[in-house]
Amino acid sequence: MAISKRTDPQINIRLSKDLKDSVDINARKNNRSRNAEIIFLIEKALSADTLKALDVNQTAKV
């Protein structure tokens, strides 16, 4: 996903030092910026939640 620096909305968040350091380490390891790493992790978490919700809904229909 391409990130548009001028048109995408921005948010400010507070992270513990340990969490920030962990994001930074993973970003370097994955050759991503801190921002790109955070977006990747959020999208991954949301898609996993969506898949889990779909699975629960399918199971309930059986």
Give pLDDT tens digits for 5-61. Answer: 678 899 999 999 999 999 999 999 999 999 999 999 999 998 887 767 767 666 666
**Longest Cα–Cα distance in the chain:** 47
Q: CA–CA distance from 46 to each of 7, 21, 29 (Å)?
A: 22, 22, 22
The amino acid at residue 31 is N
Inter-residue contact 27 to 40 (CB < 8 Å): no
pTM for this entry: 0.69
